[in-house]
Structure 1
Amino acid sequence: MPIWSFKYSRDALSEPDKVDLAKDITQLYTSVGLPAFYVNVQFFEMGPTDMLVGGESRSNFVNLSIVHIARTFKTETDRSDFLKKVDLILERFRNKGLDWEYFVVETLRQQWKINGMYPPLASSDEEKEWARLNRPVEHNRAHLPPLL
């Protein structure tokens, strides 16, 4: 499950900006087979003294944390290709006069559950069914540790 958490200066992102970002981010993952409901995009507007960069208030800044659980990068090329796609999504900030920073964290899939179940293995028939239904459903590995 990817979680994208945006922290941004007050009024830096409009409601349509947030919806467009969430759609583009979701498309990034569904295009490689992840169920859409795996993708979480969160927005946290920060007041003038809630986000300080270099000890100073910034009125034009976006900080993004990306956490990957469902998939991790297998190769340097995979990582580089993903970061290029992130950069393309975030390029819209330049046109708004915003500065931005992001990082990606990968964590163990074994520490992830949805509705008390371990999600199906990547690209399995069960995961494809979850993607088709766009929701979790009971499956034969629901209470077993994942075999990775």
Structure 2
Amino acid sequence: MPFWKIYHPIGAFTAEDKRALSQRITELYRALPKFYVIVVFQEVAPESFYMGGEPAHNFVRIWVDHIARSFPPDAKKLKAKWMGWVEKALEPYIKDRGRDWEIHIDETPFDLWQIQGMPAPPPNSEYEKLWLEQNKPVPYPIQEPA
């Protein structure tokens, strides 16, 4: 699951902006079931957003948790390419509007994740393909860890 938390000033995004940006983010994860991708927009009041001890009125902070997939530790070029795609997706809603921004991605171990009480199917498995096609978690025979 990619879980995106977007902290932003009040009124930075309209409802349509939020929908369109969440769709752009979802498109970054074409190989995953769409329901894996969660985007939360969190408005932060001016008196509650500080950077370096000073109010941050024009700042957007994005925190992403990757669980369904992770990058190999030595894949620097792939990571740089991915971050370029991310910046392109964000650009019309953040950079092009003159906002300052920062993003980071955490990677959670795949085996510490469940959906509706089930571990997610292994990546690229037949059951994950079924979840992708149906765009929802579907019960499957779960193998106990060795």
> Is the TM-score greater than 0.5?
yes
Deviation beyond 3 Å, 4+ runs, structure 1: none
Shift of 1:77: 2.2
Unaligned runs of 5+ in 2: none
Query: Aligned partners of 2:103, 2:24: CA distance in 1, in Å?
Result: 16
Checking the alignment, whether the CA contact within 8 Å between 1:12 and 1:61 is kept in structure 2 is no
Number of equivalences: 143
- 2:91 is aligned to 91
Unaligned runs of 5+ in 1: none
Deviation digits for residues 68-109 of structure 1, max 9, x if unmatched?
001001222221111111111121212212111110111101
Query: Aligned partners of 1:71, 1:77: CA distance in 2, in Å?
Result: 17
Shift of 1:144: 3.0
- 1:125 is aligned to 126
Residue 103 of structure 1 aligns to a residue whose secondary structure is strand
**Same amino acid, percent of matched pairs:** 37
- 2:77 is aligned to 77
| AA partner of residue 58 (structure 2) | N
- 1:66 is aligned to 64
Shift of 1:37: 0.3
| AA partner of residue 104 (structure 1) | I
Query: Aligned partners of 2:39, 2:144: CA distance in 1, in Å?
Result: 28
- Decide which of 32, 44, 68 is 2:42's aligned counterpart: 44
Mean alpha-carbon deviation: is it higher for 76-85 or for 97-106? 76-85
RMSD: 1.3
Query: Aligned partners of 1:59, 1:15: CA distance in 2, in Å?
Result: 20
Deviation digits for residues 89-140 of structure 1, max 9, x if unmatched?
1212122121111101111011000011011000111000001000001011
